[in-house]
Amino acid sequence: MDSSDVLQPVQEIIDNVRKNKDKALHDYTLKFDKADITELRVPTETIEKSIENIDVKLKKALEDAAENVSKFHKAQIPSDWTMEVRPGVKAGQIIRPLKRVGCYIPGGRAAYPSSILMTVIPAKIAGVEEIICCNPPDKDGNISDEILAAAYIAGATHIYKVGGAQAIAAMAYSTESIPAVDKIVGPGNIFVATAKKLVYGTVDIEFPAGPSEMLALIDETANPSYIATELLSQAEHDPNAATILVSTSRKVAEETVNYVKEYLETQERKEIIEESLSKYCHILVAEDMGQAIDFTNAYAPEHLVIVTEDYYKTLESIDNAGSIFLGNLTPVAGGDYGSGTNHVLPTSGGARMYSGLSAESFIKKPTIQELSPEGVLNIKDMVINLAQAEGLCAHAMSIRKRAEDIEK
């Protein structure tokens, strides 16, 4: 994902929001979303009422998904700990949540209530006090009941009717309506991803998360009709979504392509899928599984589907992937909505150095240390010698004075 083409306009948006605050947000919402809004924040009563306006089946699905996401992310919170590294030298780590975070919820081509669950719930579990969400409104200046209901179920503090790079700028620098946060998370288009990169340092971000991508690593045991649905499901996200198939079986690869062509005719988002497939879908046949795995690790996909004869054995060689789906019966959609794992994941090769969003994304880990008299004497010479080697005499003096008093 090359952001060079949008770097200048995104920086201009950020600068405008920093200077003109709410006025800039209103202007951009009118320009980009065609909505003339008066209030940026959605009233609490509107959020609470939204739960009554959605389909009962959707409400149940959101609640069930929220329960699974909560179960999974609760297991990710580490505990405080201490250890004695030498006699009298105690060191450890404590866990503290961030105070306020911002969750960007994409809009435009579709509503994504699942992204509310995936960003808000881990923050809530981590103990974040204030969790705000930004979502672009429709042309009437409203946010869908599905999004609001998900925010209510997940436990968001406030939700604001603003999207794009301007939302990222507002959460980073604050406006009259939107407070500055400590960290911004959530997926978005290239403008959103670029804005997150530009404000990083003023606030933290989880990682640049751009258009969706999936790689399926398969052999002759894969069901080609299932793999075809994986290619289609990722392609329907966005015209810029990338779908890759790496197979050691030419026969299965060809059968998968045939199923893609067959199923494509029935898809509601056919035009989006066709554009995505024509630009960013590649079907690759590897000489052997070793070559297929090497390519997979080099590509470092956001979503990795592994369907091989012994997929746990294959998994042992996988180093780079955002989230991994094992076997014929495990679609990416399971992780997107229902398994409990997080679907906010690194893209564009980011899985080489990042993991997906987690409860740990919203905590800090300050270290602690305590020296007893024995501990001071145990590390005195080491500290003095290292401090003197670096020319920091006051450092050496700080421990020497204590040691001298102890030895009196």
Query: pLDDT at residue 339 above 70?
Result: yes
- 383-389 mean pLDDT: 98
Query: pLDDT at residue 262 above 80?
Result: yes
Known catalytic membership, residue 302: yes
Query: pLDDT at residue 277 above 80?
Result: yes
- Strand-pairing partners, residue 199, are none
Confidence category of residue 1, pLDDT binned at 50, 70, 90? low
Q: Which residues contact 53 (CB under 8 A, 6 or more apart)?
A: 145, 149
Known catalytic membership, residue 303: yes
- CA–CA separation, 218 vs 196, rounded Å? 35
- 328-352 mean pLDDT: 95
* pLDDT at res. 5: 86
Confidence category of residue 208, pLDDT binned at 50, 70, 90? confident
Q: Which entry of 73, 237, 303, 343 is annotated as an active-site residue?
A: 303
* pLDDT at res. 109: 66
DSSP result, 236-270: TT-TT-EEEEEES-HHHHHHHHHHHHHHHTT-TTH
The angle subtended at Cα 33 by Cα 32 and Cα 37, nearest 5°, is: 115
Query: pLDDT at residue 294 above 90?
Result: yes
* pLDDT at res. 190: 87
* pLDDT at res. 32: 95
Q: Is the pTM of this model over 0.75?
A: yes
Mean pLDDT for all residues in the chain:
96
Strands 323-326 and 242-247, bridge-based pairing: unpaired
Query: pLDDT at residue 173 above 90?
Result: yes
Query: pLDDT at residue 205 above 70?
Result: yes
With a pLDDT cut of 90, the percent of the chain lying above it is 93
DSSP result, 116-176: HHHHHHHHHHHT-SEEEEEE---TTS---HHHHHHHHHHT-SEEEE--HHHHHHHHHH--S
DSSP 334: I
- CA–CA separation, 52 vs 58, rounded Å? 11
- CA–CA separation, 92 vs 16, rounded Å? 44
Query: pLDDT at residue 155 above 70?
Result: yes
Query: pLDDT at residue 336 above 80?
Result: yes
- Residue 195 · residue 13 · CB < 8 Å: yes
Q: Where are the beta strands (DSSP E) in 332-380?
A: 363-364, 367-371
DSSP 353: T
- 166-173 mean pLDDT: 98
Report phi then psi at 130, rounded to 5: -130, 120
Q: Which entry of 26, 236, 302, 343 is annotated as an active-site residue?
A: 302
Q: How many distinct helices (H) and strands (E) make up the chain?
A: 16, 15
Distance of CA 277 to the CA centre of its chain: 24
- 325-345 mean pLDDT: 96
Helix (H, G, I), strand (E, B), or coil: what is residue 218? strand
* pLDDT at res. 230: 98
Return the residue matching tokens 């250890």.
83
Query: pLDDT at residue 231 above 70?
Result: yes
Query: pLDDT at residue 197 above 70?
Result: yes
* Ramachandran class of 108: left when φ > 0, alpha when ψ lies in -120 to 50, beta otherwise: left
Lowest average pLDDT, out of 168-177, 184-193, 315-324, goes to: 184-193
